[in-house]
Amino acid sequence: MHHHGAGEDNWVLGGAADGVFRIGLVIGILGLAASFFLGFGQGNVERFYSAWLVSFGFFLAMSLGALFFVLAQHLTGATWSVVVRRLAEAVSTNLGLMLIFFIPVALGLKTLYPWADPEVMAHDALLQSKQGFLNTNFFYIRTAIYFVVWIAASQYFFRRSVSQDETGSVGTTLGLEKTAAPVTLLFAVTTTFASFDYFMSLEPHWFSTMFGVYYFAGSLFSFFAFLPLMVIFAQSKGRAVHTITKEHFHDMGKWMFAFTVFWAYIGFSQYFLIWYANIPEETGWFYVRQNNGWATISWLMLIGHFIIPFFGLLPRWVKKTRMTLVVWAIWMLAMHWFDLFWLIVPNANPNGIPWHPLYLTCFLGIGGIYFATIALTLKNKSMIPAKDPRLPDSLAFENV
């Protein structure tokens, strides 16, 4: 039987988390210092905000993906995923950290968003007609609502789950199942509007009702790539070695594959209708992304974000082998970064790709702190929901 030995497994990261915390913190602080220096010390303020928003969007997506994963597991009463749910809960609680990382976005509001600049607004009749929604005050009110919902939801699901490690109460599981339904609705609305606000309104003339789903698809794409990496890291430190088996990796691999396809489906759906209708106010957004070097990134999205990982993740053995999953997970995370780069940067830089070290330093700065915080969250807690009533089923899980 598969679960022999799971009982003797070490489920607490402890010292292994210390290492990640220290390295993450050092990389994070150096990355942030380099970013502030390059941005404000060397007068690349516009580039700083652009690069910051790309990495903000990247890590926000990952935590939102994690929150949705937790909600979906409770909604469906899933058993296979119990052994990896605590890791997802920890990633989702980083939504609190993302609120701190929102501060530079707020400081750069005028630089990033044309609608936040009174000069632009004064001469643009189209934007004036959208002013009821696209104005600074309402933008901050909405941001407050998003983060209240996200932080409350992620903390609630994490803390209830951790409290169950002590109590073993079945009532906790049943309660979370009920709560998950309305919270999923709130999640859908807040994530959709947040993607409209933070990323779609960078080009405020343009609109796409598909945009929210596109960002959501990318968020799960990146989270499902990150999840097996966390497990493999923990197992390399001798944690949960017999608890999380090949069968669980197989399922995580299926999710990576599924959201590779879902992302492409949504991305094409958005492109297709705009291409077919061929209305200038809609096609302008893609026109920018097909010219002056941006076409390269567009092709990278089609081929690198979809076709290559589609065939790469298709065979069953790839999804059951830790090494191949690591390779594809890193590939997918890189592609997801380029997806956000492609989403955020072109409209302010239609004349060419503005390569700049700030894109790297902001990623390292936010990322280092992000990973350090996850390590801190998990350090002294069981990385497995030890008394979840569905844990025995999850431990014994096998794909038929």
Partner 1 sequence: MSVAENRVATDKPSFFGYLVEFDNVDSLIHAAEKVRDAGYTNWDAHTPFPVHGMDRAMGIRYTKLPLVILGGGLTGLGGALLMQWWMNAVNYPYIISGKPFWSIPANIPVMFELTVLFSALTTVFGMLAFNKLPQWRHGVFSSARFARATDDRFFISVEATDPKFDAKKTADFLAGLGGSEVEALED
382 - beta bridge partners?
Answer: 12
What single letter denotes the amino acid at residue 320? K
Task: For residue 170, give the 3-state DSSP assignment.
Answer: helix
> Which of 219, 155, 162, 209 minimizes the C-alpha distance to 183?
155
What residue type is 244 in one-letter code? I
Determine, following the binding rule CB under 8 A, whether residue 271 of this chain makes contact with partner 1.
Answer: yes
Q: In this structure, which amino acid lies at residue 83?
A: V
Residue 299's Cα: distance from chain center in Å? 22
**Residue 214 in contact with partner 1, rule: CB under 8 A:** no
Q: How many Cβ atoms are within 10 Å of 218's Cβ, its own excluded?
A: 28
Q: Is 284 exposed, middle or buried (0-12, 13-18, 19+ CB in 10 A)?
A: middle
* Window contacting partner 1 (CB under 8 A); options: 3-11, 38-46, 72-80, 263-271: 263-271
Cβ closest to partner 1, residue 323 vs residue 400 = 400
Q: Are 62 and 223 in contact (CB under 8 A)?
A: yes
Size of residue set near partner 1 by CB under 8 A:
13
Q: In 3D, which of 100, 99, 107, 119 has the Cα closest to residue 45? A: 107
The single residue among 138, 275, 299, 310 that binds partner 1, judged by CB under 8 A, is 275
Could you count the other beta carbons within 10 Å of the beta carbon of residue 43? Answer: 10
Output 2 or 237, the one with its CB closest to partner 1.
2
Note whether 26 and 380 are within 8 A (CB): no
Give the residue with the Cβ less far from partner 1, 178 or 316.
316
Question: x/- contact string, 291-320, with partner 1 (CB under 8 A)?
Answer: -----------------------xxx----
User: Looking at beta carbons only, is 315 or 357 nearer to partner 1?
Assistant: 315
Cβ closest to partner 1, residue 159 vs residue 316: 316
Q: Does 137 bind partner 1 (CB under 8 A)?
A: no
281 lines the binding site for partner 1 (CB under 8 A): no
Residues 360-399 that bind partner 1 (CB under 8 A): 398
Q: What is the rounded distance in angstroms from the CA atom of residue 105 to the CA atom of residue 119? A: 19
Q: Minimum distance between the CB of residue 302 and partner 1, rounded to whole angstroms? A: 11
Tell me the window of 73-81, 107-115, 271-279, 325-333 that interacts with partner 1 (CB under 8 A).
271-279
Residue holding tokens 């705009």? 274
Please identify which residue in 102, 193, 268, 338 interacts with partner 1, judged by CB under 8 A: 268
Is there binding between residue 400 and partner 1 (CB under 8 A)? yes
12 DSSP β-pair partners = 382
Out of 118, 132, 166, 276, which residue is the one contacting partner 1 (CB under 8 A)? 276
Tokens found for residue 2: 């598969």
User: Using an 8 Å Cβ cutoff, are 44 and 79 in contact?
Assistant: no
Nearest to 14 by CA among 375, 391, 386: 375
Q: Segment contacting partner 1 (CB under 8 A): 52-60, 213-221, 275-283, 329-337?
A: 275-283
**Window contacting partner 1 (CB under 8 A); options: 99-107, 140-148, 157-165, 274-282:** 274-282
Nearer to partner 1, 188 or 302 (CB): 302
Give the Cα separation of 59 and 313 in Å (integer): 23
Given the rule CB under 8 A, which residues bind partner 1? Answer: 265, 268, 271-272, 275-278, 314-316, 398, 400
